[in-house]
Amino acid sequence: MRRGKGICNVQIIFPSGKKSFPRHGRKSGCFHFMGDWSPVSEVVCIAEGYATAASVYMATQGFPCVVAFDAGNLAKVARVVRKSSPDAHIIICADNDSNTKGNPGLTAANAAANDVGGVVAVPVFKDAQ
């Protein structure tokens, strides 16, 4: 994870799929980005997880994408992006947790987008309930 130019934490993904961060590492407002992001970027996409951001980056053929690492960090990262790129169109690429009570991914994405004047892109899954 990065904020500015330094590393502030790392995410560990175990073979079981469990994800965690080392104790005492900073996460709030930290992120990882891919692509060419600058203060004059026209569009910046923000996603919860690395796989989503990488998929968006490939699908858009190179829009700058930012990984927030969890739903609770989306709004904080969106504010950092907005401060750095005040004129950018910010797209929050939501996790659609439709099978989880309250759909936390979509709920957090909507809150982050509202906070920074962005929009939400949400996947629709054929087999979702």
Mean pLDDT of 40-68: 91
pLDDT, tens only, 58-97: 999 889 999 999 899 999 999 999 998 899 999 999 998 8
Domains parsed from the chain with CATH numbers: 28-121 (3.40.50.920)
Are 40 and 85 contacting, i.e. CB atoms less than 8 angstroms apart? yes
Note the Cα 99 to chain centre separation in Å. 20
Entry pTM: 0.84
pLDDT at site 32: 86
Summarised one tens digit per residue, pLDDT across range 4-17 is: 567 777 777 788 87
Q: Say if residues 88 and 126 touch (Cβ distance below 8 Å).
A: no
